[in-house]
Amino acid sequence: MRLLTELGGSVTNGLSYIGALASLGGQAAYSTFVGPLRGKPLRIHRAVSQAMDVGVRALPILSLITFFIGLILALQSAYELRKFGAITYVASAVAISMSRELGPLITAIVVIGRSGSAFAAEIGTMQVTEEIDALQTMAISPVQFLVAPKFLAMVVMLPCLTIWANAMGILGGALFGVTQADFTWGRYIQASVDALFLRDITSGLIKSVMFGVTITAVGCHEGLSTGAGAEQVGRSTTRAVVMSIFLVIVVDLIFTALFFFMSDR
C-alpha cells in the first residue's frame, strides 16, 4: 500500500513537473511568436547575443567532440563490417547514425553542459538577488524578458549546430576511411552523401528543435524555481543538467519511435 502511495506521489510529481515545463515552454513560444504581433516587440538583440553564446561559442568544442565521435563510429562499425568484407559501408554507417541519432544527441548534450546549466545558474542567481522580483515590480514579464530570447536562440541554433555536428562526424569517419579503407576524401564524402536520404537529416533536425525546447524549458524552470541562498543556485544547476539529459533522451526515444512507425508505411 505504501509503495503504491509513493509511486502515485512520484507520478503526480513527475506529471506536474512536465506540466510546469510545458507551461513555461508555451509562454515562451507565445512571447516569441505571438507577442510581436500584439505590439510586444521581441528583444532581437538579446536573442542574438544568446545565439552567439549558445551557438557560435559552442562550435570549437562541438567540432572536436563530434569529429572524435565520427572516428569512433567508423572504428566500431569497421570492426564488424570487415568480417564480411564490407568495409566500404563504413561511410554510410557513419553518415546515417550521425545524422539520424548521434549528431542531434551529442549536440544536445554539449549544449546542456554549456548553456542549459548556464541558464539555470543565471536565472537562479537573479532569483536569489531579487532581480526576478525587480522585473516583476517593473511590470516586465520574466518569461518575456529572459526566457523568450533564450528560447528563440536555442530553437534556431540547435538545428544549425546539429548540421555542423553531422558534417564534423562524417569528417571524422572520413579520416578512418582514407587512412584504413582505401577511400579518397572525395569518394568518402560522395559515399556518405549517396547513403543519406533527406528524411535522415530532417528527422535529426526535428529532434534537435525539440531538444532545444526541452533544454530551455528545464534550464529556465530550474532557474526560476531556485530557493533562497547561493547553494540553491548550485542545486538548480545540477538538477537542470540531470533533468535535461534525462528528458532529452526521453524525447529522443519518443520521436525515434514516431519516425520508425511513420516510415514503416
Cβ-contact 242, 129 below 8 angstroms: no
Give one DSSP letter per residue of 221-256, joined into a string.
HHHHT--SSHHHHHHHHHHHHHHHHHHHHHHHHHHH
Q: Tell which one of 34, 134, 254, 262 touches another protein (CB under 8 A).
A: 134
Could you tell me if 31 and 144 are in contact, meaning their C-beta atoms sit under 8 angstroms apart? yes
* Closest separation in Å from C-beta 16 to another protein: 16
Cα distance between residue 91 and residue 181, in whole Å: 10
Query: Among 131-139, 158-166, 212-220, 246-254, which window interacts with another protein (CB under 8 A)?
Result: 131-139
Contact call for residue 137 and another protein (CB under 8 A): yes
The site map against another protein for 71-110 (x = CB under 8 A) is ----------------------------------------
- Which of 13, 16, 23, 129 binds another protein (CB under 8 A)? It is 129
Tell whether residue 38 is a contact of another protein (CB under 8 A).
no
The set of residues, in sequence order, having a beta carbon less than 8 Å from that of 152 and lying 6+ positions away, is 32, 42, 47, 50, 51
Nearer to another protein, 127 or 166 (CB): 127
Q: How far is CA 163 from CA 92, 107, 175, 194, in A?
A: 16, 10, 19, 17
Instruction: Write the binding mask 5 to 24 for another protein: x where contact by CB under 8 A, - elsewhere.
Output: x-------------------
**What are the residues binding another protein (CB under 8 A)?**
1-2, 5, 126, 129-131, 133-134, 136-140
